Amino acid sequence: MLRRLRLACCPPSRAAVFAVLSLVASACLSQLPENRDEIALELLIGFLVGNNPDFSATRVSRSSPQSIASGVDTALAFDQIDFATGSFAVVPATNNLVVRTEDLYLLNGGVEFQAHGVGSRTLRFLDPAAVAGTQSTRGLFTSTTAHSISMLRELSAGATIAVQASQTSGSAVDTTSEATTQLSLTRLNRAVASAAFVRKTAVQAVSASIQTAVTFQTVDYDTGGYYSAAQQDRLTIQESGVYLIVGNARLGVTGVAGTRGVDLLVNSATGSSFTIARDQRSAAATGEGNQDVSAVYSLNAGDSVSLRYYHNNAGAHNLEFPLTSMGIARLDSNPVSSRSVLRRSAPAAVQSIPAGVATAVVLSEVERADAAFSATDTTTTTIAETGFYLLVASAEFVNQNFARRDLNINVNGSAVAREARLASTTGNGSLNLLHMQQLNAGDTVQLRMFQNTGGNLDLISANSFLQIVKLD
């Protein structure tokens, strides 16, 4: 830290540096969270040198296909750094991102497999440093497939994060060379945004065809008073603000067909309840089913958020631990919001998506568009300020239980993130996608949908949206 301070200033003496720090510290340290001296010091030095210690992010990606053998967990190898800022080390030889500072992090990974019509596709976080619970899986089983996984986790200094892909086609399947195969790690500093992460430490039976509230028994951290042992099925909001919520669920049943669904549900302080994000899909052909679902949402003090799970197989099946979890982070700074936020959604009028054509989703209902965004076009958001952005997208189709569904986040006409899979066998099909992206002023962002049922397919407005937060 002190080395960075000398480089940023007209070289001060060591005594002058510590004199300034002591003056600022005496006025400010009492206002920062207790027992976070190392973060407090970093914040103070960052303020003095014009640096932003509250945000750092790195993303690595792959520019050429990688062969994934059947039945073998394979670490994805990355050959390019898309961006790198702050407290990470990139280790290409081992395909890892290494954490340098203990804090709260958003993990996001993606993979896209080339076309192959047999077996399941899986993506998981690999944690050589054995940070408990840091993995997630999305299973698919036909055609060209793409999946994205996300988690909010507290990581220790020295933790190494990678992603593994696997498939069960019976022969090798290559990944594509698109930017959708990637790994990103974003530091969300708890000194300016309260957060919590809870997880299961006991199995929970979920009966067929009943949406069930998931309960959590263990709190890894909670800096905002979200969790109560008396109400294990929810996180309760203490301060109004803009929140990132990420839920992960694992159903411990293998090789069973049917539908799997996971929702984020808000129980508002006024008494109403409503879903803010959903992921609903067909069960994987093999292996236990893992899903995640994400949302960025404005919540009020007294609101609560819960994770709900659904399946339609006969009998009860167990949600497993520790891979069933929920994380929450308040993204705006105290005492008022200092980050730009966009939230726009599909109108009530039905939009019909033609078969075989990647179609821009109409998002004409603009609930919030701060200074970093222009949302005057019904399908396109234009970025007004260069920076690092968190994007969350969701789309829901009416039920039609065959063929493929794709949800794409496009930047300047090219896909940077994609979720592609078969439709759920019953009920509506929902896709949910989180992505970190460095964007420049003038860049455009669109959601595009694709389906190949052979006819038009209607989009459902309730769970079709785009949410963007400028993090730096």
Instruction: Answer with the residue of higher pLDDT: 288 or 25.
Output: 288
pLDDT band at residue 257 using 50, 70 and 90 as cut-offs: low
Region 433-454: mean pLDDT is 93
| Tens-place pLDDT, residues 163-202 | 888 888 888 999 988 878 899 988 877 545 689 999 999 9
**pLDDT at residue 94, rounded to an integer:** 55
Q: In the chain, what percentage of residues exceed pLDDT 70?
A: 75
Average pLDDT over residues 264-293: 79
Evaluate whether 195 touches 327 at the Cβ level (below 8 Å). Answer: yes
Instruction: Name the pLDDT band for 333 (thresholds 50, 70, 90).
Output: low
- Would you state the pLDDT for residue 289? 64
pLDDT at 411 exceeding the cut of 90: yes
Decide which of 253 and 339 is more confident.
Answer: 339
393 pLDDT more than 80 = yes
Q: Flag whether pLDDT at 306 surpasses 90.
A: yes
Q: Residue 423: pLDDT band by 50, 70, 90 thresholds?
A: low
Question: Which of 226-235, 252-261, 299-308 is predicted with the least confidence, judged by mean pLDDT?
Answer: 252-261
Mean pLDDT score of the chain: 78
pLDDT value of position 102: 83
Residue of higher predicted confidence among 462 and 445: 445
Of residues 338 and 287, more confidently modeled: 338
Q: Is the pLDDT of residue 439 over 90?
A: yes
Model pLDDT, residue 27: 45
Say if residue 116's pLDDT is above 70.
no
pLDDT at position 91 is 62
What pLDDT band is residue 382 in, cutting at 50, 70 and 90? very high
Choice among 42-51, 214-223, 311-320, 359-368 with the minimum mean pLDDT: 42-51
pLDDT at 158 over 60: yes
- Residue 259: pLDDT over 70: yes
Q: How confident is the model at residue 1 (pLDDT cuts 50, 70, 90)?
A: very low
Q: What is the pLDDT of residue 19?
A: 44
Q: Which residue has the higher pLDDT, 383 or 132?
A: 383
pLDDT at 389: 94
Work out the pLDDT band at 358, boundaries 50, 70, 90.
Answer: very high
Most confident region among 102-106, 155-159, 306-310 by mean pLDDT: 306-310
Q: Which residue has the higher pLDDT, 255 or 274?
A: 274
More confident residue, 285 or 244: 244
Tens digit of each residue's pLDDT (9 = 90 or more) over 77-106: 988 888 888 766 666 555 788 888 888 888
Q: What pLDDT is attached to residue 256?
A: 61
Model pTM? Answer: 0.80
- pLDDT band, very low/low/confident/very high, at 278 (cuts 50, 70, 90): confident
